[in-house]
Amino acid sequence: MNQKKISIIGVPMDLGQMRRGVDMGPSAIRYAGVVERLERLNLNIHDLGDIEIGRPGKTEEKSEGSNLRYLKAVAEGNKKLAEVVDHTIEGGSFPLVLGGDHSIAIGTLAGVAKHYDNLGVIWYDAHGDLNTVETSPSGNIHGMPLAVSLGIGHEDLTSIGGYTPKIKPENIVIIGARSLDDGEKELIREVGIKVYTMHEIDRLGMTKVMDEAITYLKDKTDGVHLSLDLDGLDPLDAPGVGTPVNGGISYRESHLAMEMLEESKIITSAEFVEVNPILDDKNKTATVAVALMGSLFGEKLL
């Protein structure tokens, strides 16, 4: 991660899921001091503000011929995000995207992947986000971005950026999974995605998990995107998320993971998503997100 110029992009998207409030995530993260914290690391920070996300009415919730919730609005928001991320990278800056629900990863990856031949992805999340219209129990698009980026899903989503797929299954590492739907498990086995569930993290330890993940991606990719959902952490440490799952990654384990990624120098773009201040306790989850960003960008205890 040798780029010193970082562009912050807020995406106040809450249409990919059913609990309101996550659209305030970018504001909560800024309020928690992300700009000031990264500037203290002698990084050149440019806050590009927020992508404009439309506010469709209830009648637009389900598109004709699809049970995906707010498909048109989610697709439009991600198209805008993909363009901004694309231009950010063209300008020589590291895109740091603040969510918003995890559906925004569709746009982030559409903007990032066109700049790499073999983009790697670390998906730090309690969930696989590998559902499709056929397997999703809810129709919520925030449970689909990784599948969409693999070229699996509705054409309005997979075609964003004008190309598909964005990533290859062998270039993905999921870390922290502990809530996978049956269809996701089947897809993981079918296409061969590397997954470290909480069982592996408990058994191997986070140091071993991150060593293996970094080694797995380092030589075969020309860039690695970090997509970090705050529900990857245990709800005791990150309560302000829409889909909390008990038994998650600890605060300290997450710092270690970010520190090891910084030392590896493989991360070329990142997003932090699913911070919901309405469900939070005194902005605790946004504060955790900012602290993890500090470790990702080189903050040290000594």
Active site residues: 102, 125, 127, 129, 142, 229, 231, 274
Q: Taking a C-beta distance cutoff of 8 angstroms, is the pair 152, 98 a contact? A: no
User: Distance between CA atoms of 259 and 53, rounded to whole angstroms?
Assistant: 33
**CA distances for 109 relative to 93, 95, 105, 245, 289, angstroms:** 15, 11, 6, 25, 20
| Cβ burial 199-237 (10 Å sphere, 16+ → b, else e) | ebbeeeebeebbeebbebbeeebebbbbbbbbbbbbbeb
Please state the three-class secondary structure of 201-218 as a single string: HHHHCHHHHHHHHHHHHH
Other Cβ atoms less than 10 A from the Cβ of 81: the count is 30
